[in-house]
Chain A
Amino acid sequence: EAGVAQSPRYKIIEKRQSVAFWCNPISGHATLYWYQQILGQGPKLLIQFQNNGVVDDSQLPKDRFSAERLKGVDSTLKIQPAKLEDSAVYLCASSSDAGAYNEQFFGPGTRLTVL
């Protein structure tokens, strides 16, 4: 089966600009996650969707970050305006059933550099 797809793979922007990342999960996976991985740290959950509803966005900086999953399939994460500290790898993951402690399948990530 095809894995989790993400684009772009790399993005360089200047601070105060906006940027958007796209993720297409594994077909049939109801749960989609966005993680932020800062260099030297483990990934941190930004937002979790179950179909097109938000389950957890407690660590999403809502003044600048937004995410949507309108049709319950692919998802977009946006940053506007970007700050230097947003430089990180943004990982998308999906799983078939979030409540069953199933493994999450990760995409290759988008490496964002904010100058």
Chain B
Amino acid sequence: AQSVAQPEDQVNVAEGNPLTVKCTYSVSGNPYLFWYVQYPNRGLQFLLKYITGDNLVKGSYGFEAEFNKSQTSFHLKKPSALVSDSALYFCAVILSTGKLIFGQGTTLQVKP
């Protein structure tokens, strides 16, 4: 069965410091991976996706993610965190039908 795990419920980082939100996956076949962000009382917003190609994927708002096949990971990163990055982040795997299977989410708290 396809699944995604986000091992940290919450990540705390100071503004200006680099941030990493972790994601590991378990899929049969090629993994197609997404990151979404959810702000309070709003729907999910697409950040980036890995389908094929370069292992470092660049996305919206300065975020990037590194696909690592040997470690079955797809960690989300940003070189310098902003207070406005504080939100709930979801990693997901997409099936060929378009169905998204989400991790449980990681709350990112960026403190000034």
Contact = CB atoms under 8 A, between A and B. Distances in A.
Interface of A: 4, 31, 33, 35, 40-45, 48, 55-56, 91, 93, 95, 98-99, 101-109
Given A31-B98, A48-B98, A101-B49, A42 B92 contact: yes
Interface of B: 4, 32, 34, 36, 41-46, 49, 51, 90, 92, 94, 96-105
Interface centre among B34, B45, B100 (most CB of A within 10 A): B100
B77 to A, nearest CB: 19
A58 B99 CA distance: 11
B104 A99 contact: no
10 contacts: A31-B98, A42-B90, A42-B102, A42-B105, A43-B100, A45-B101, A99-B96, A99-B97, A103-B49, A108-B42
Contacts of B94: 101
Given A103-B34, A109-B43, A45 B96 contact: no
Given A42-B90, A42-B105, A105 B97 contact: no
B103 A42 contact: yes
B104 A40 contact: yes
A55 to B, nearest CB: 6
A48 B98 CA distance: 9
Nearest to A97: B98
Given A42-B90, A91-B43, A91-B44, A104 B105 contact: no
